[in-house]
Chain A
Amino acid sequence: MSKQLTNLRARETEHFVMLEDLGRGFAHRVRNYLGIMSGTVQLCLSNYKMESEFEEQLKIVDQNVQDMLKSIEDFLGFARIPEMALQPLNPGEVLDGILKPLDAKLRSQKIMLKKKFDSALPQFKGIRR
């Protein structure tokens, strides 16, 4: 049962990684198109004379494009994979942290837990969950 659950979790993780890659690729493409739109609008505004009403309309278009670009930059910043930083961990604390949520199950199944941790365990470097 736990093996099936592990497989399911692995598939879910894989699915989310693929979805994230697709989302990031899509955001990059949209950003490129918006960049072209904004550049073209700004080129028109600076190089061509036009009626003030049309000029205002183009400025509104450019403002909307800039807002959208900002949202896409925010998304890409969020979607960027964070660097995994190793930090000092205490082996006893790590194991106690894992055991705590299992406590109820141990009691309900009448499993006796015996712990024997050395008193002076050194820290090791790992990634905190």
Chain B
Amino acid sequence: MIEDAFQQLLQNSIDAMPQGGELSISVEFDNTRDVISVRIADSGPVSPKRI
């Protein structure tokens, strides 16, 4: 379910910022493409390019 996916993303963001930070969520509607975009960003450490 879509709510579970968002919840997991948000939880991961919170877990990535144990010392505090910024979590931003934006929701936009593009009526030319009839698409809703949800962006979730956090100021936690980025994943290394090579794991």
Give the interface of A toward B (CB within 8 A).
1-2, 6, 91-92, 94-95, 97-99, 102, 105-106, 109-118, 120-122, 124, 126-127, 129
Q: Measured between alpha carbons, how far is A118 from B36 in the docked complex, in Å?
A: 10
Interface bracket on B:
20 to 34
Nearest chain B CB to A11's CB is how many angstroms away?
Answer: 16
Q: Measured between alpha carbons, how far is A124 from B37 in the docked complex, in Å?
A: 12
Known: A109-B20, A126-B2, A129-B3. A95 touches B14 (CB 8 A): no
- CB-CB < 8 A to A110: which residues of B? 19-21
Q: Can you report 29 residue pairs joining A to B where beta carbons are below 8 Å apart?
A: A1-B15, A2-B11, A2-B15, A91-B38, A94-B2, A94-B6, A98-B3, A98-B6, A98-B10, A99-B10, A102-B10, A105-B14, A106-B14, A109-B14, A110-B20, A111-B17, A111-B23, A112-B20, A112-B22, A113-B24, A114-B23, A114-B24, A114-B25, A117-B27, A120-B29, A121-B27, A121-B36, A122-B29, A126-B1
Give which listed residue, A97, A115, A122, A127, contacts B36 with CB less than 8 A: A122
Which residue of chain B has its CB nearest to the CB of A128? B3
Which residue of chain B has its CB nearest to the CB of A1? B15
- CB-CB < 8 A to A99: which residues of B? 10, 25
